[in-house]
Amino acid sequence: MVDEKLLAKIHNLFKLAEGNTNPNEAQNAMLKAQQLMAKNGIEQSEVNQIIRPKEVLSENITDSNRLSWWEKQLSLIIARNFRCEIYIKKTVHSGSTIVFIGLKDDVQLAKMVYNFSVIAIQNDTVNFVKKYKKYHVVYNVGIKNDFLKGWVHGLDEKYKEQVSKNNWGLVLVKDPLIQKEMNKLHLCKGQSSKVSMGHDSNVYGRGFEQGKNFNSPIGALN
In terms of pLDDT, which residue wins out, 133 or 63?
133
Find how far residue 179's CA is from the centre of its chain. 18
* 4 class by beta-carbon count within 10 Å (0-12 exposed, 13-18 middle, 19+ buried): exposed
How far is residue 73's CA from residue 76's CA, in Å, rounded to a whole number? Answer: 5
DSSP three-state, residue 215: coil
In terms of pLDDT, which residue wins out, 173 or 4?
173
Phi then psi for residue 188, to 5 deg, are -105, 145
Assess whether pLDDT exceeds 80 at residue 200. yes
Long-range own/partner contacts, residues 4-8 (CB < 8 A, 24 or more apart): 4/50, 6/36, 6/40, 6/42, 7/42, 7/46, 7/47, 7/50, 7/51, 8/51
Biggest CA–CA distance in the chain, Å, is 66
Nearest one of 46, 6, 16, 40 to 173, comparing CA atoms: 46
In terms of pLDDT, which residue wins out, 153 or 2?
153
How far is residue 52's CA from residue 73's CA, in Å, rounded to a whole number? Answer: 33
Assess whether pLDDT exceeds 70 at residue 20. no
Q: What is the pLDDT of residue 183?
A: 94
As a whole-number percent, the residues of the chain with pLDDT over 90 amount to 52
Reported pTM:
0.75
How far is residue 193's CA from residue 116's CA, in Å, rounded to a whole number? Answer: 24
At 142-161, the pLDDT tens digits run: 999 999 999 999 999 999 99
β-pair type (85-90, 96-103): antiparallel
CA 140 vs CA 146, 148, 152: distances in Å:
10, 13, 19
